[in-house]
Structure 1
Amino acid sequence: MSVLKSTGLLSLQLLSLLLVTVTLLFFLVRLTGDPAVVLSGESGDLDALALLRTKYGLDQPLYVQYFTFLANAAQLDFGVSWVEGRDALAIVWQRIPSTLFLAATGMAMNLAISIPLGTFLGTQLAPRMRKALDIFIFVMQGVPGYVVALFLIQLLVVKYHFFPSVGNESGLSWVLPSLTVASFLAPKLARVIAVNVAEAMQEDYVVMARAQGARYSTQVIRHAFPNAILGATALIGTQVAGLVNGIIITETIFSWPGVGRLLLDSVLLLDFPVVQAVVVLTTIMVFMVNWGTDRLMEVIDPRLKREARA
């Protein structure tokens, strides 16, 4: 019974989220302009515009378009791309793997940087080095991702020719986009881990291990770090959800063929079916990532599950 209740609540939450999202999406995209003008080009006359509006149902009253859109969206039918002439959802599905791959490599690099950095900061070793790292992290938190991307391109592509600057066809082309993604994730995660490690080092179980003669590295790695990473799990889940939603700027700068770049191109071309398919699909994915993070937290720390039931 509890499983059915939980499933029903989850479905209700997802449906409510999708209804609000698609409603806002429908009306907002139609404020961006008339797609018939874009599709017809500069040479389009009034007859051509009228034909395009009739072809895509843009001549119907807005409320008719809205309810038609809702009925089709409920079946995950977003129509055909007005630019490419192919199924909009199929186009999005083609781009999803590239975005997920970039999200995975960026998150892996984020963890590879933030975990040792945050652990080091939390142990309060080498005060001068710690202060320098604190300043560096503080500065990086305020630097936009596109600034880091442009700097990396200027230094490692234009000047030294170490990496290709566009596409995702080789392993080397993955490095700069992944590093860019990590650059705006790692500072915050490193700070959270540092605070958690510092707090864990003062806990009774670490003090007891210290009193029993455990080495400092053992105190940190075996006792303090597992509890510190537990507190950072929610932030990691939030960061993953944000990446799944599309890394628009990074994908655009590096010509990465992902969902973020597809969304930007479709908005500029007023390709409503593709825009709607991207937003609805990524909304579902973000919701499921957040739900999965909550379940993972309950598995790692059963106290959260007991509190939720209470």
Structure 2
Amino acid sequence: MAYVARRLLQSLLILVGISLVTFVLLYLVPADPARQIAGRSATAQTVENIREQLGLNLPFYQQYLRYLGDLLQGNLGRSYLQKTEVAELIWSRLPASLLLMAGAIACELAIGLTMGAIAALRRGTTVDNSLMVVSFVGVSAPQFVIGILLLYVFAVRLEWFPIGGYGTFAHLVLPSVTLGFLGAGWYSRMMRSSLIDVLGQDYIRTARAKGLKRAQILFVHAMPNAILPIIAMIGIDIGLFMSGIVVVESVFGWPGIGQLAWQAIQRIDIPIIMGVTMVSAFAIVIGNLLADLIAPLVDPRIKLR
């Protein structure tokens, strides 16, 4: 419990730090929110009145403390341009993003762990080298390039999947593969290295000497230990997803918070940018915390201190 309490406190401090850094950066953006709200034809007095209503005429530290107070109450502010509460906008888009994230995690685990296990079992062969080349491409290629190539091949040429949109399983496949391909590359390399190390341990040699079947040795004795580093990476992956989801959702027209953030960036709608940033940061922090807490359940040798 002491460990959990300490990690929760650390997480809270991280979120406060992220809010401060983001607030400073957006404060320095050369844009006038009051003018955006009032419109180009508004008088100077109207703009000044709006600035006063929003508290934009206050010193920086007062603006930040005011924002932080609202944030602690769950108030993410109101969109300057859409005239809607940011929390409502994010909440309406969140299910689509969570669905895409779940699909991406499933893809990267299925592809990455399979490739890594095969490469480890075929170490030093052409199969091993080929799979590692594919994994290198996965971690190196920009996601928008992968997305466009998948669209061209499977949506335009073969017509197996729709070009974009949302609503069916077919719409989910290509964006999930695009978002998960990067993680699959990392997972395959890590799985290969970890499994090779585990297969060289004494208890694996003992299992072989007892005459256990190869499949039993692999799935019962080797995989549970080799997969431990992957668990920690899943929490970190949430951060990678949040950074890549903006591009992927824009390419495939997926109506999630990534697309919402991209639209807000184009229009310099600061409350939405802040809101999406904080929700993403919260997801990353919680993901890493859960990864730390789940690891001892998989391997009792790991102690939380």
Give the TM-score of the pair, scaled to structure 1. 0.90
| Correspondences of 1:1-310 after superposition (within 5 Å) | 3=1, 5-32=2-29, 33-44=31-42, 46-124=44-122, 127-243=125-241, 247-305=245-303, 308-309=304-305
Q: Name the amino acid aligned to 1:90.
A: E
Indicate the larger mover: 183-192 or 118-127.
Answer: 118-127
Q: Can you list the C-alpha shifts for 1:267-300, whole angstroms capped at 9, x where unaligned?
A: 2222222222222222222211111110101222
Q: Name the amino acid aligned to 1:23.
A: L
Indicate the larger mover: 289-298 or 209-218.
Answer: 209-218
Per-residue deviation, 1:26: 1.4
SS class of match (1:221): helix
Taking the aligned partners of 1:158 and 1:94, their CA distance within structure 2 comes to: 30
Per-residue deviation, 1:228: 0.9
Q: Name the amino acid aligned to 1:10.
A: R
Indicate the larger mover: 165-174 or 232-241.
Answer: 232-241
Taking the aligned partners of 1:60 and 1:230, their CA distance within structure 2 comes to: 50
Per-residue deviation, 1:34: 1.9
Taking the aligned partners of 1:237 and 1:70, their CA distance within structure 2 comes to: 26
Taking the aligned partners of 1:277 and 1:239, their CA distance within structure 2 comes to: 20
Q: Can you list the C-alpha shifts for 1:15-74, whole angstroms capped at 9, x where unaligned?
A: 211221111121111222222344445545544533442343323333332222122122
Give the TM-score of the pair, scaled to structure 2. 0.91
**Is residue 241–residue 290 contact of structure 1 (8 Å, CA) maintained in 2?**
no
Taking the aligned partners of 1:243 and 1:53, their CA distance within structure 2 comes to: 36
**Is residue 266–residue 274 contact of structure 1 (8 Å, CA) maintained in 2?**
yes
**Is residue 35–residue 269 contact of structure 1 (8 Å, CA) maintained in 2?**
no
Indicate the larger mover: 45-54 or 269-278.
Answer: 45-54
Per-residue deviation, 1:7: 4.8
Taking the aligned partners of 1:45 and 1:246, their CA distance within structure 2 comes to: 41
Indicate the larger mover: 158-167 or 109-118.
Answer: 158-167
Q: 1:269 to 1:55 in 2, by over 3 A?
A: farther
**Is residue 36–residue 81 contact of structure 2 (8 Å, CA) maintained in 1?**
no
Taking the aligned partners of 1:78 and 1:205, their CA distance within structure 2 comes to: 53
Q: Name the amino acid aligned to 1:29.
A: L
Indicate the larger mover: 274-283 or 98-107.
Answer: 274-283
Percent of aligned pairs with the same amino acid: 28
**Is residue 76–residue 271 contact of structure 2 (8 Å, CA) maintained in 1?**
yes
**Gap runs ≥5 in structure 2:** none
**Gap runs ≥5 in structure 1:** none
SS class of match (1:247): helix
**Is residue 103–residue 176 contact of structure 2 (8 Å, CA) maintained in 1?**
yes
Taking the aligned partners of 1:35 and 1:160, their CA distance within structure 2 comes to: 46
Taking the aligned partners of 2:129 and 2:280, their CA distance within structure 1 comes to: 40
Per-residue deviation, 1:172: 0.9
Per-residue deviation, 1:187: 0.7
Q: Name the amino acid aligned to 2:285.
A: F
**Is residue 88–residue 273 contact of structure 1 (8 Å, CA) maintained in 2?**
yes
Per-residue deviation, 1:250: 0.6
Q: 1:125 to 1:61 in 2, by over 3 A?
A: closer
**Is residue 116–residue 188 contact of structure 2 (8 Å, CA) maintained in 1?**
yes
Query: Number of paired residues?
Result: 304
Q: Can you list the C-alpha shifts for 1:146-191, whole angstroms capped at 9, x where unaligned?
A: 1100111111222232211222122211111001012111011011
**Is residue 235–residue 284 contact of structure 2 (8 Å, CA) maintained in 1?**
no
Could you list the structure 1 runs, at least 4 aligned residues long, displaced by more than 6 angstroms after superposition.
none
